[in-house]
Amino acid sequence: MNPDIMKERQNATFDVEKLTNILDGGPEKTKRRREIESMVLSDPDFKEEDPNFLSRSERYDQAVRKSAQMILKLREYGIADPEEIYCYKNCVHPDRPEPLDLHLGMFLPTLLNQATPEQMDRFFMPAWNLEIIGTYAQTEMGHGTHLRGLETTATYDPATQEFVLNSPTVSSIKWWPGGLGKTSNHAIVLAQLYTQGNCHGLHAFIVPIRDMSTHVPLPGIVVGDIGPKFGFQEVDNGFLKLENVRIPRENMLMKYAKVEPDGTYVKPPSAKLTYGTMVFIRSMIVGESARSLAKACTIAIRYSAVRHQSEIRPGEPEPQILDYQTQQYKLFPLLAMAYAFTFVGQYMRQTYHRITGDINEGDFSELPELHALSAGLKAFTTWETNSAIEVCRMSCGGHGYSCSSALPDIYVQFTPTCTYEGENTVMMLQTARYLVKSYRQAKAGQQLSGIVSYLNDAEHRRVQPQPVAARPTVVDINDLTSLKEIYKLRAAILVELAAKSIQQELQRRRSQEDAWNNSAIDLVRASDAHCHYVVVKLFTDKLGEISDTAIHSVMSTLALLYALHGITKNSGDFLQAGLLSVPQVMQISVRIKELLSQLRLNAVALVDSFDHHDKILNSVLGRYDGNVYEHLFEWARRSPLNATEVHESFHKYLKPLRSKL
């Protein structure tokens, strides 16, 4: 064990194990997670070559092998709880995507949510037993987030009682679905439904794409892999072109909407029923933001504790780079953010389960709020995490650029979350639509409930920026309740400004659509402020549940740092609205420095509490024992370029060059 990192752990002021329990949701959850981890990590069937040293085809091959083993083991051990399956999968493929992701995460859940009992009998067990391997083909080359623009068609032919599916244009070719290129033999295809001469919008169809025994593409199916990407090398993201492909009428998912044998269309009871899967996945992504950020912070902070560089005082030993205030300023606010997002992820999971219960009872009242919240928080957490991972990588200097650090991998695997399941700017605008609607309801005298209830007070506030001296400022910058209040007011003011911007555009005789587009920058800022308030509120609320005084103390410091750092990054908003004075903003900068030095003692213990096993972290720089340099050398020696002492290119090009010059 590296002596520096040992000393860091001895300095901790709280019990790491107790904090891990809080993050996991209780000691029994921690125990079970570790059982699953050791089951996977000690299993020789999951041994793997370091993917950094493999070609793309080898990475795909290795991922498929491990996924196949994973399915067998899950059955063998009888692991059926969705959260435990998710945990098991994350140990088999540590935060790396895998070819069966869409089969497990989209194909099976969509069947469960949208198939009729007869369709479940036909498709679910074969899919459960992987005779059917499915993917979810929604995105096309020409359209992603804007679903109404999708061009694939499914036209009903009553003579044969079949749907005929087509990709009528180049831009309508399905593009990006994971597992579509080489792995899947079925796809749930989203297509525009035409029957009796009318288009009824997007519906889902189960389409066989490869022969069940030979795996050769079926007639009319053009399918393959879309080629190398920024990351996701293990996954065969694919294309699918449909040329007059006929499927039986019973292959349309018909739990809600139906097409009768004669072609009559029957509408679904509620357009919102299909929101469920989408909201669930967005809530999951919030949790993934927290986990990826926690990993990046673990690597950067542990490495900063064992790396010595330069000198603060001439003639003295080189300090740990974690002793530099600039390094603390880069990393500690991100550590606070990782904790904040972890608690937001827990809240989203609980809210989703609670509201799903209501939906099953036929109560849809809270769905619009959950939809808006999951869209906004998905965008807010992924954007913030995406930038933060890169800050962690750069804070590790040159070695952070090496794949051995795991940081490049964490970044390229995480960054697509800003785009998939709803492009972030579009998500923010969806949240803004809900906020503006709620604001207008409050203005019309309705009492709002839920997380937007702060808009009820909009009428009692003077939004015009005014000289701060004109009213006493009552904000206590050391009091989280007080800070939560000004985050709330900032959100309310920015929502009001966005709503007024739309109003002004309409008064200039702009159409609704143009008024919206011309106010979009303000709308995104309003959503961002709303989400920021929600995160500060949930972090503050979480403190009320923590009884251990030592942990409560360090969590309060983190929450305060998160809130104050957010103010300095957006100080213009707070100053403009007269929520803070210039002297207070300067005071906050001083206070942040004090909080950094308070957290310095516990920095390593705080990342230890995330409890990422070395094999799952897979980082030479972030090793638990801190023995970085020996293992960095060992890792480099394993590079395939070192397989021979003299590379063949020397004999082919460099040696002949000598005789030619």
Q: Which residues are catalytic?
A: 421
DSSP-based three-state secondary structure for 94 = coil
In this structure, what DSSP letter does residue 343 have?
A: H
- Give the distance from CA 92 to its chain's centroid: 19
Torsion angle of the four alpha carbons 199, 201, 205, 208, in this order, in degrees rounded to the nearest 10: 70
Angle at the Cα of 116 from the Cα atoms of 111 and 120, rounded to 5 degrees: 55
Report the alpha-carbon distance of residue 253 to residue 277 in Å, rounded: 15
Query: Tokens for 608?
Result: 């230890």
Rg (CA), the chain: 27
Report the alpha-carbon distance of residue 304 to residue 298 in Å, rounded: 10
Strand pairing partners for 194?
155, 199
Query: Tokens for 354?
Result: 């609670």
Handedness of CA 432, 584, 558, 382 (dihedral sign): positive
Report the alpha-carbon distance of residue 45 to residue 586 in Å, rounded: 57
Strand pairing partners for 153?
166, 192
Strands, E assignment, 47-160: 134-137, 153-157
Strand pairing partners for 190?
204
For residue 254, report the phi and psi dihedrals to the nearest 5 degrees.
-125, 30
Query: Tokens for 386?
Result: 């995406």
- Give the distance from CA 611 to its chain's centroid: 20
Strand pairing partners for 221?
242
323, with CB counted inside 10 A (0-12, 13-18, 19+), is middle
Report the alpha-carbon distance of residue 91 to residue 617 in Å, rounded: 10
Report the alpha-carbon distance of residue 530 to residue 430 in Å, rounded: 13
Report the alpha-carbon distance of residue 395 to residue 327 in Å, rounded: 7
Q: Among candidates 319, 346, 335, which has minimal Cα distance to 562?
A: 335
> Between β-strands 134-137 and 186-195, what pairing exists: parallel, antiparallel or unpaired?
parallel
Torsion angle of the four alpha carbons 498, 503, 509, 512, in this order, in degrees rounded to the nearest 10: 60
Handedness of CA 64, 70, 75, 80 (dihedral sign): negative
DSSP-based three-state secondary structure for 338 = helix
Please answer whether residues 152 and 201 qualify as being in contact, where contact means their C-beta atoms are separated by less than 8 angstroms.
no
> Between β-strands 258-259 and 186-195, what pairing exists: parallel, antiparallel or unpaired?
unpaired
Please answer whether residues 100 and 67 qualify as being in contact, where contact means their C-beta atoms are separated by less than 8 angstroms.
yes
For residue 242, report the phi and psi dihedrals to the nearest 5 degrees.
-105, 125
Handedness of CA 87, 89, 94, 98 (dihedral sign): negative
Identify the residue whose tokens are 């003077």. 462
Please answer whether residues 534 and 373 qualify as being in contact, where contact means their C-beta atoms are separated by less than 8 angstroms.
yes
Which residues are CB-neighbours of 528 under 8 A, at least 6 positions away?
Answer: 380, 428
In this structure, what DSSP letter does residue 619 have?
A: -
For residue 626, report the phi and psi dihedrals to the nearest 5 degrees.
75, 5
